[in-house]
Every structure is written in structure tokens, then in C-alpha cells.
Structure 1
């Protein structure tokens, strides 16, 4: 009857209160699953802290450049008479794109033309009157030769007479009819006659030389005048070319005008920028690239070959990410405003970038992707459906360091991994 007042399980518990013969459940399957999950997470975290990497990045700003934009400058000083370009106009190398007034050079050219004209006129007179003068002088020399020859013949007759007279006088002297002084006087006359004949022969020979030199002198004068004309013509050619080069400014490049920097009527100097020209041909130097500027305190942290991410200001990075690239150049010294102008070709942009302080210049080449609409590889799967144009401002990130996470959490590990 007592059994009806107590449950069977209660009676069994009273009979064996310790239940040493039965297993006791401490945890259930759900607890084990949770414990395993926590253990795996801790193990993964420890492995990642040693084997993984954390990237340290620098935020930078800059501009997308490309197309080889050149500044065409004046090559001489003067008033700009005409500027033959406009924005969007195609220009070929060697085209005359501007005209600068050069009054002084023009006057020099006119003076040189007058010198050439005068010397050619003198050459005409020399050719005309010189030949006439030579002919007249030749006739005069010829008459002189005839006259000298007549004197020689006359002197020879006189000498023949004196020789005959000497023979007669010698006969008379032997007979004592004349004195010796008379014979001596005749001999003196004979010697004088011989000397006169020799002198006349010398004069005749001199006239022959004069006849020969007469044509030579004229030819020499003609040659000298030709040399003077050639010298004047060379000077005229030099001044004409100089006037043409300084008056007509020619484009040293092919391309399209993207900005006009001056206007007609302005007085310019040598080196004054006239307009900007963009190269339309695709070359290695004309490909788009990022030109970034880093504060001076971080400039030396960036090295060639580092990973860089760049996004133009026209693209939302939250939606499309960044363009992938590599650092290809880092300036050795902080860039000056003049040096920055060489890259960005815009003085206002250069001033605004330098307003924050001294900067280092960094060039980034973009990774290409033919399947992307823009032609570049993005951190997103596709990238935006827009073309990236040069001159667009941009921002970016440059990875300057990769290290295990544990070295960040536990600084002592940096020394262990020799990362100081």
C-alpha cells in the first residue's frame, strides 16, 4: 500500500542516491559546436597575425596627365602682329602659327639688298669701261713700242756712222792730221750710242710686260669684285633667313591647340608662351598616367615599384573603386613651382597644390585592361563606363609598407622580425 504514495523513479533514486553506475552529461552538442567555432576562429586569428599582412597607405592628391602637352613659345622679341591658332585647331610641325614685327631686322635686310645692288652695278661698270680702258691702254702701249723701235733703229744708224767715222779718224791720226782727243771723243759717242740702244731695248721689253699685265690686272679686278658680290649676297641670305625665322614663328610639334595664352598686339619676348599644344599621336609618353604630390615629410617613404591606387575626381570610389597602378618615378628633391609647371602645364593648379607646403612628385603608370570601358584595371570587377581624360584632378593611395598584424599588436615582435 505504501507503494501507491511514491513514484517508482523517486524510490529508485532513494535506493541509489549517488548513481555511480551512470554517465553524467556536462555539455550538450550545441556547446561543443560553439566551442569548436571559437577555437577555429582563435586559431585562424593567430595564423593570420603571423602569416597575413596589413598594408600601410598614404593618401595623396594629384592630376591625371597624358597626351604630351607642349607650350609653344615665341623665339624672338617684338609686337605680336598675328596669332594664327584657336582652341581645337590642328597644327602640323613647321606651320607658321604667329607673326612678330621685326623693324630693325627688316631695315638690315633692305640695307644688305642695297649693298648687293651697288656692287653688281660696279661690276657692270668694270666689265664695260674696264674693257674699253684696257683696249685704249693696249693701243697706247703699242704706239710706245713702235716709237721705241724707231728710236732704236735711228740709234743703230747713228752707231754705224760713228763706227765709220772712228775708222777714218784712226787713219787720219796715224798720219798726224788729227789729235787723239778727237778720236777719244768719237769713241765716247759710240759707247753712249750703245748704251742708248740697250736702254731703249729695256723700255721695249717693259712695254711687253705692261701689255701682258694689262689683261691680268683687269681679270684680277673682276675676280675681286665677284668675291665682294658673293660676300654681300651671303650676308643678305643670312639676314633674310634670320628675319624670316624671327618674324614667322613655326610650330615645333604636331597636335591640337588646347589653350591660347596671348593675343595679337601684345609685345612678347623670347620664350613667352603663346599657346598649349596636345600631341594627338599615341606614344609611350602620351599614355595617361597619374602625377601625384606627396607632402615632404612622407616623400622619402615612397619607392619605385610600390603599389598605387588612383581614382579621378569624376568617379565615385565607393562604387567603382580605384585604378590599379605602380609607382614609376619619385623625385629626389621637393618639386618647385617651375618644375611642377613642366608636368601639369597649369600655373593655377601648381600654386594650389603648393599652397599646403613643399611636395615630392610621384608618377604612377596605370595597369591596362582591354575589357574595361576606360581601358584600365580597377579594384572593382568592371569599373565605370567613362573615359578618363588628361587634366582631371585625382586622389589616390600608395602602399608604403606591408607587415604581419602581430607586429602592430605586439610591438616587441618587430624587433624579433628585424623590422626596425
Structure 2
């Protein structure tokens, strides 16, 4: 009777959980929880990230690009009309952007000294002492007059568009001095262009490489880049005077040189045709409005000259570090 009372009292003093803890204080009979489901998810995410980095380091690539500036032109290019003799420009019959035809009069040069010589030759036959001498002097006068007229009237030797007028009315010119740049018509179905790239990277550009171009006034973030292929690369750096002759603009040539802060190589390229495009040429993106390309458009271009797996770059840097120790 007394024992039963004591057991009932003991049961009231110790709870069931306390008694279980006393029986197995180390809980060796229970399974241990190593991690939670959230922990497993985090571990899987980290593992996937590490795997992706390894795959990218082997199969991905770092690219080295050669960037340059230049111009898109038609295949016929720009030609220069020169003065045929010395004198004063008293008339210019065309203006920049005007269409001209072959044989059209574009300027007149007043040759004052030649005028005086021609007038003197005009009276020479009257002073001749014989008929043979008179005939000779008549021929001399006709020849001098023809040469004068041929030299003082400047005609366009091409069908094209006046790109730039290099002199003004009243300017004094000498024989062989450039007067007008004419952009020759013809070949407009096949545009070409030039890029000027710093010499340190220009030497690594090769024929056939792809160029991504951004013509002036085009937002490449909306339309993508215009595509071209390298046709040739100059063997040596080009001079500002040579660039001026190619581009037809002295200020543009000087600006490109100053912007690149280096000697430059000339890269000639052709645009890639795409009959299905509104512009007639291939772009990196099919979205956006691709307006027709016009000759004389300034452009920036980029050429990938090297692709290298990231892991190769890591090994290269590591070997440099080890050699430096």
C-alpha cells in the first residue's frame, strides 16, 4: 500500500520526458540530423556553379579585339581633279554634293601670264619676214591658244558627285594642285571601306576575318552591327597624307590619327551582301530598321584577332608568377 503510494508520487515528481532522458542521456538510439533540406539545396547550387565555371574555363573563350575608325565607300572610290596650270581661280561652277557628268565644266582658272604670251603670239605672223616664218608663227599661236584654253577650263573627267571643293574663288593655284574631290559613280551595289587600326593590333589582322561595323548615325544596340570581311591589310603604317588621299578629307585623316594616338595600319574591307535585308547588306541582328547604306559614311569597326580559353590564360599567368619567384 505504501509502495503504490510512493510510485504514484514519484510519477508525479518526474515527467515522462525527464525519465526518458535519464534512461538514454546521449540519445544514442536516435538518428542524427547532419543537414537540412535547405542546406542540401545550397550545396547543390554551389556544386552546379563550380561545374559551370570549370566547363566555361575549358570551352569558353576570352577575345582580343582590334578597334578602328574609317569610312564606307563605293567600289569606285574618290578621285581628285587637279589644276592643269598656274593662275587664279575666278569661277567654280559646282558645289559640294552636286552631281556632275564626264566632260562637264566645273571651274575656270585665269592665266594672266599665259594670256599676255598668247596675245604676243597673235601678232607674230604680221612681223614675219617670209611666208614660211609666218606659217610657223601662226601654228605657234594656234598651239599656244589651244594649250591655254585646255588648261584654264577645268572639266570633270568622271561621272560622279562633288565630294569636296578644296579651293575658293580668288585662290591662286599652281600646276598639279588639287582642286576638287569627285566621288565616282558606279559599283554602288558593292560597297567597300577602310579602317585605320593602331599598329600594335593592326599587324595581327588577317585577310578574311569578320568586321563588325557601326556606321555613323546607327544605334547598334537596336539594329546590331553591319558585317564586313577583311580584303587586305597594309604592310606598313600609313601616313596622314596617304589617308587624306583615300578619305578625301584632311581634317578626318588628322582626327583619326589623333584619336588613335598611334601610327595606324590600313585595313580594306568589303561589306557582306544580304538581298533579304532592306539595306542590301548583312547585319548581326534581324530586328530594327536597317536603312540603306550610303557612300561616305564614317564608321567604327571591331575585329576579333584572338580567341583564348580562360584556363589557358590562367595557366599563362600562373607560369609567369612562378617564373617571377
Flag whether TM exceeds 0.5 (same fold). Answer: yes
Q: Deviations over 1:93-144 (max 9, x none)?
A: 12233334443674598579889x946x9xxxxxxxxxxxxxxxxxxxxxxx
Residue 401, structure 1, aligned to residue 306, structure 2: yes
Residue 248, structure 1, aligned to residue 150, structure 2: no
C-alpha spacing 1:267/1:393, structure 2 compared with 1 (3 Å): same
Map 1:345-384 → 2, pairs under 5 A: 345-355=248-258, 356-370=261-275, 374-383=279-288
Which of 29, 35, 50 is residue 42 of structure 1 equivalent to?
Answer: 50
C-alpha spacing 1:4/1:106, structure 2 compared with 1 (3 Å): same
Map 1:161-180 → 2, pairs under 5 A: none
Determine the structure 2 residue equivalent to 1:329: 232
1 CA distance for matches of 2:284 and 2:210? 12
Determine the structure 1 residue equivalent to 2:60: 52
2 CA distance for matches of 1:267 and 1:330? 38
1 CA distance for matches of 2:245 and 2:55? 49
1 CA distance for matches of 2:265 and 2:42? 53
Determine the structure 2 residue equivalent to 1:26: 34
The CA deviation at 1:338 is 1.5
Residue 84, structure 1, aligned to residue 107, structure 2: no
Structure 1 or 2: more helix by fraction: 1
Conservation of the 8 A alpha-carbon contact between 1:326 and 1:365: yes
C-alpha spacing 1:8/1:376, structure 2 compared with 1 (3 Å): farther
Structure 1 or 2: more strand by fraction: 2
Which of 175, 197, 204 is residue 270 of structure 1 equivalent to?
Answer: 175
C-alpha spacing 1:91/1:393, structure 2 compared with 1 (3 Å): closer
C-alpha spacing 1:28/1:368, structure 2 compared with 1 (3 Å): farther
Determine the structure 2 residue equivalent to 1:73: 82
Aligned with 1:277: secondary structure? strand
Determine the structure 2 residue equivalent to 1:296: 199
The CA deviation at 1:253 is 0.7
Conservation of the 8 A alpha-carbon contact between 1:326 and 1:364: yes
Which of 104, 126, 135 is residue 95 of structure 1 equivalent to?
Answer: 104
2 CA distance for matches of 1:54 and 1:18? 57
The CA deviation at 1:283 is 3.8
Determine the structure 2 residue equivalent to 1:196: none
1 CA distance for matches of 2:281 and 2:188? 17
1 CA distance for matches of 2:26 and 2:131? 144
TM-score, normalised to structure 1, is 0.59
Tell which deviates more after alignment, 383-392 or 298-307.
383-392
Aligned with 2:49: secondary structure? helix
2 CA distance for matches of 1:264 and 1:234? 33
State how many pairs are aligned: 302
Conservation of the 8 A alpha-carbon contact between 1:407 and 1:414: no
Q: Which has the higher contact order (CA 8 A, sep 6+)?
A: 1
1 CA distance for matches of 2:167 and 2:85? 15
Map 1:101-140 → 2, pairs under 5 A: 101=111, 102-103=114-115, 106=118, 110=122, 118=131
TM-score, normalised to structure 2, is 0.73
1 CA distance for matches of 2:229 and 2:144? 53
C-alpha spacing 1:42/1:301, structure 2 compared with 1 (3 Å): same
Residue 281, structure 1, aligned to residue 293, structure 2: no
Q: Deviations over 1:217-240 (max 9, x none)?
A: xxxxxxxxxxxx8x9998888666
Tell which deviates more after alignment, 84-93 or 331-340.
84-93
Aligned with 1:86: secondary structure? coil
1 CA distance for matches of 2:159 and 2:117? 29
Unaligned runs of 5+ in 1: 122-228, 416-420
C-alpha spacing 1:297/1:391, structure 2 compared with 1 (3 Å): same
The CA deviation at 1:271 is 1.8
Aligned with 2:150: secondary structure? helix
Conservation of the 8 A alpha-carbon contact between 2:89 and 2:173: yes
The CA deviation at 1:41 is 1.5
Unaligned runs of 5+ in 2: 1-7, 321-325
